[in-house]
Amino acid sequence: MGYYNSPEPKKKRGGYFASSFSGLLAGALLIGVVLPEFTDSEAAANNEPETVQTESDLQGTTDIVTTDITEMVEKTSDAVVGVTNLQTAQQNPFVPASQAESKEAGTGSGVVYKKDGDWAYIVTNNHVVEGAESVRVTLADGTEIDAEVLGTDVWTDLAVLKVASDEIGTVVEFGDSSKLQPGEPAIAIGNPLGLQFSGSVTVGVISGTERLVPIDVNQDGREDWQAEVLQTDAAINPGNSGGALINSQGQLIGINSMKIAQDAVEGIGLAIPINVAIPIIEDLESKGAVERPSLGVAILDLAEVPREYQESELKLPGDVTGGIVVNEVAPGSGADKAGIRQFDVIVELDGEAVNSVQELRQHLYTETEVGDTLKAKAYRDGKLMEFEIELTESL
């Protein structure tokens, strides 16, 4: 699985235009050669005069086709923007640092969700702007404006940008992702392969809701988190990251984020449900970070401790096979005040068994808030003990 935020090298459009024009000529020749032969034969068989359609007749048969999808796209597409991550290229030792230029390090998409006075706010993916020294936003009409990164969150892969509002016209309307059902229409809007294909639209359905996808946040080869996502078969390609997934009412129901990158997999696109994203967006906009509860301990999975040490050092009963080992306790933290010590093995939180660090994070980040009191059970020297820990804000 992988994140996508870097475009492929841009190709010149001349070849594409030439091939398309040749195709049109070939089509015109086929119409001019095949169709007259058919109409002449048919007219002769029926002793009817030949009827020839003029160019004006053909033009008169062309209508503008409007559907629910085109209406929803027209309503929403101007709220979807391009996001360019700019970073200074590797410094040439013979060029002064003051003359170094920022270059495009990657591109993605974003969605304008709010306009308030002089400012407008855009949600995108964390990985789209990660490492950026500056960020540029490209509007649907091609206008480029500078953006400020207000905050990012690696756990949910979300980021919020702020731009001047004078060029912003369309703001997306939030939908309700909790009401989605498999089979509902889903429309993805974004910039696949970068700004070369800006404003691209793909259509599909909601394939699944409340999917849990393992994420390796720090790229150490181990799963750190399980992200809740929507699954859709609307095509989501490199550059779509941060773009909009909308419903048949033109409401934003998800932020396109990931795609399973396997040759054997087709039609599986993933998006962050908007109901999951909204509280993160609010925190990033107002505080620059997401407020999450913390125990105040450094921990590791019990599975990482060799079995002989589990018995000799931790003195765990033989039937205990999962849990979290406390490696360090921060002075003055909730865990410290509750009496948690180094090498305690936490096995239960609020009545639910926890077998790994990932399960502990899922419980803390999704089911508790700063200030809550958490009930924990932990083994110490072979004895099961109970603790009440007041959760503080993570640092």
Model confidence at 31: pLDDT above 70 = no
Task: Give the pLDDT score at 97.
Answer: 60
As a whole number, the mean pLDDT across the chain is: 83
Domain boundaries 177-278, corresponding CATH code: 2.40.10.10
User: Pairing state of beta strands 144-153 and 102-116?
Assistant: unpaired
Higher pLDDT pick, 89 / 161: 161
Give residue for tokens 């101007």.
78
Closest by Cα among 78, 66, 67 to 199: 78
| Across 220-241, average pLDDT | 87
User: Worst-scoring range by mean pLDDT, 2-6, 147-151, 239-243?
Assistant: 2-6
Task: Give the pLDDT score at 387.
Answer: 97
Domain boundaries 293-393, corresponding CATH code: 2.30.42.10
Model confidence at 383: pLDDT above 80 = yes
User: Worst-scoring range by mean pLDDT, 101-110, 240-249, 269-278, 335-344?
Assistant: 101-110
Task: Give the pLDDT score at 13.
Answer: 41
pTM here?
0.76
| Across 164-172, average pLDDT | 95
| Across 266-282, average pLDDT | 92
Model confidence at 32: pLDDT above 50 = no
Using pLDDT thresholds of 50, 70 and 90, give the confidence band for residue 394: confident
Residue 245 tokens read as: 């997934």
Q: Is the dihedral of CA 282, 288, 290, 295 positive or negative?
A: negative
The b-or-e profile of 209-244 (16+ CB within 10 A means b, else e) is beeebebeeeeeeeebbbbbbbbbbbbbbbbbbbbb
Task: Give the pLDDT score at 45.
Answer: 47
Residue 231 tokens read as: 């699954």
Task: Give the pLDDT score at 74.
Answer: 87
- Report the chain's terminal Cα–Cα distance, integer Å: 29
> Does the active-site annotation cover 363?
no
Model confidence at 146: pLDDT above 70 = yes
Task: Give the pLDDT score at 135.
Answer: 96
Per domain, the residue ranges of the chain are 14-60, 177-278, 293-393
Using CA atoms, how far apart are residues 154 and 284, in angstroms rounded to an integer? 12
Residue 230 forms beta bridges with which residues? Answer: 271
> What is the number of alpha carbons within 13 Å of residue 324 lying toward its C-beta?
24
pLDDT tens digit sequence for 244-267:
999 999 999 999 987 665 555 677
Q: Choose, from 77, 165, 207, 241, the residue flagged as catalytic.
A: 241
Using CA atoms, how far apart are residues 114 and 112, in angstroms rounded to an integer? 6
Q: Choose, from 127, 165, 207, 257, the residue flagged as catalytic.
A: 127
Using pLDDT thresholds of 50, 70 and 90, give the confidence band for residue 71: confident
Task: Give the pLDDT score at 221.
Answer: 77
> Does the active-site annotation cover 372?
no
Q: 339: phi > 0 → left, psi -120 to 50 → alpha, else beta; which? A: left
Task: Give the pLDDT score at 94.
Answer: 63
Domains 177-278 and 293-393 share a fold: no
Using pLDDT thresholds of 50, 70 and 90, give the confidence band for residue 213: confident
| Across 37-44, average pLDDT | 43
Residue 256 forms beta bridges with which residues? Answer: 271
Using CA atoms, how far apart are residues 247 and 258, in angstroms rounded to an integer? 19
Using pLDDT thresholds of 50, 70 and 90, give the confidence band for residue 194: low
Using pLDDT thresholds of 50, 70 and 90, give the confidence band for residue 93: low
Contact 76, 69 (CB under 8 A): no
Using CA atoms, how far apart are residues 189 and 74, in angstroms rounded to an integer? 11
pLDDT tens digit sequence for 316-360:
998 999 999 999 999 999 999 999 999 999 999 999 999 999 999
Higher pLDDT pick, 258 / 190: 190
Task: Give the pLDDT score at 346.
Answer: 97
Q: Choose, from 157, 233, 283, 344, the residue flagged as catalytic.
A: 157
Task: Give the pLDDT score at 131.
Answer: 92
